[in-house]
Structure formats: C-alpha cells, structure tokens
Amino acid sequence: MSLKEIKARLIAASKTEEDFLVQINASYLEELCKEDKVLAPALYKLHNSQKINLFEILSPAYS
C-alpha cells in the first residue's frame, strides 16, 4: 500500500474513533511483513498538515 492510499483510508476513517482505530489496526497488520512502512509517516503527515487531529480523535479513548 502506498503512502497516498493509506492517507486516503485514514482520512475516510477519521470521522469516528472506532473506524479510525480499526483502520490503523488493519493497516498495521497489513504492513507487518512488508519492508515499506507507511502507517507512521502517514499519521505524522496527516496530523501535521491538520487534515486529521490525532488528539481530538484519540482523546475519548483515554477518558
């Protein structure tokens, strides 16, 4: 999966905490055996470009 594809999937799933976490898990499992790791860079780039707010999405998980 390319960086562009994972970013699109994460943006689409970011509407709810559950969907977002499910997508992160699926992407993580998908890249476990691959050399090209794109999940962490995708999360970093999306958060820093303000396309997603990781604090806002994940804060209910820690409440």
Q: In whole angstroms, how far apart are CA 30 and each of 2, 26, 53, 60?
A: 12, 6, 23, 26
User: Whole domain around residue 12: which residue ranges?
Assistant: 3-62
**Reduced to 3 states, what is the DSSP secondary structure of residue 36?**
coil
Q: How many domains does the chain have?
A: 1
Whole-number pLDDT of residue 17 = 87
For 3, which DSSP code? H
Whole-number pLDDT of residue 57 = 84
Q: In whole angstroms, how far apart are CA 19 and each of 22, 33, 34, 50, 54?
A: 5, 23, 23, 19, 13
Whole-number pLDDT of residue 61 = 61
CA dist 18 and 35 (Å) reads 27
pLDDT per residue of the chain (63 residues) written in tens, 0 to 9: 889 999 999 999 998 889 999 999 999 999 998 888 999 999 999 999 999 999 888 886 666
Whole-number pLDDT of residue 38 = 94
